Amino acid sequence: MEWLFTPSNFGIIDFPTYLLGTILTILFPGPNSLYVLTITSRRGWQAGAWAAFGIFIGDAILMIAVALGAATLLNSSPVIFNILRTLGAVYLAFMGYSLIRVGMERWKKSTQVIDVLKSNNYLDSVHPTLAALTLSLTNPKSIFFFVSFFAQFIQPAYTHPLQTFLYLATVLQFLSMTYLIGLIFTGQFFLKYFEQHPRYAALLWAFVGVLLIGFAGKLLL
């Protein structure tokens, strides 16, 4: 007897290819994963868990928006899309600048008895869930990615495409959260390591900041 929840019962074609593509997409470093890793290495696993929760909520909202037709709205209104894209780029650049500033402070003060991890900056003043949620929602290109990626694996003749979409989205969320949990454990290791080697932390945070600014520039292209 065929299992009830097999992909084919939900109008999904070539599910192994979908799994492989999803895994490769998740493993490719992006702003979300970099933020979880960085905030965990700065503030511990609890902050990383809250950040992962924010990304989970943000991605869920984007997927629901796709199901409700937000992609069509953005595609038909270049003004709205450009506004969202600009806001996303500004937010990414601001986070990148904050990390670079923290890295510079840590580098300058690493020889002093000062806990730069508790310095007053954006990354510490905003709850990780809110920061991660904003990071996730300010990338309108994610909406078009979900549309173009999911559409390849939905049977055109299937009578309930929403069920297919929800199935694919659930799988993606599960794999994404599994990966982020792994990053949280990695970040916790870095937290202990960076407490003993503050200048390495300074270099890493500055490097991640540069990457986020690079993502901001890419978002505008």
Tokens matching residue 122: 């954006």
Within a domain: 160: yes
Say if residues 150 and 17 touch (Cβ distance below 8 Å). Answer: no
pLDDT above 70: percentage of residues in the chain: 83
pLDDT at 138 over 90: no
Within a domain: 58: yes
Distance from C-alpha of 44 to C-alpha of 58, rounded to nearest angstrom: 22
Torsion of CA 39, 44, 46, 50, to 10 degrees: 0
Say if residues 96 and 121 touch (Cβ distance below 8 Å). Answer: no
- Predicted TM-score (pTM) of this structure: 0.73
pLDDT confidence tier of residue 211, bands split at 50, 70 and 90 = confident
pLDDT at 198 over 80: no
Within a domain: 2: no
The per-residue pLDDT for 180 is 92
Closest CA to 47 of 131, 137, 103: 131
Within a domain: 24: no
Say if residues 80 and 74 touch (Cβ distance below 8 Å). Answer: yes
The per-residue pLDDT for 112 is 45
Closest CA to 145 of 216, 52, 74: 74
Q: What are phi and psi of 112, to 5 degrees?
A: -105, 165
The per-residue pLDDT for 178 is 93
Domain count, the chain: 1
The per-residue pLDDT for 143 is 75
Distance from C-alpha of 150 to C-alpha of 167, rounded to nearest angstrom: 10
Within a domain: 16: no
Q: Which domain holds residue 105?
A: 30-220
CA distances from 126 to 67, 120, 171 (A): 30, 11, 30
Closest CA to 104 of 192, 40, 199: 199
46-80 tens-digit pLDDT: 999 999 999 999 989 888 887 777 656 666 777 87
**Residues with Cβ < 8 Å from 68, sequence gap 6 or more?**
none
Within a domain: 38: yes
75-132 tens-digit pLDDT: 677 787 777 778 778 877 887 887 788 777 767 765 443 444 444 455 667 899 998 9
Lowest mean pLDDT among 93-97, 202-206, 207-211: 202-206
**What sign has the CA pseudo-torsion 118, 120, 124, 126?**
positive
Distance from C-alpha of 32 to C-alpha of 53, rounded to nearest angstrom: 11
Within a domain: 1: no
The per-residue pLDDT for 179 is 92
Average pLDDT over residues 16-29: 83
What SS3 state is found at 12?
Answer: strand
Within a domain: 3: no
Rg (CA), the chain: 19
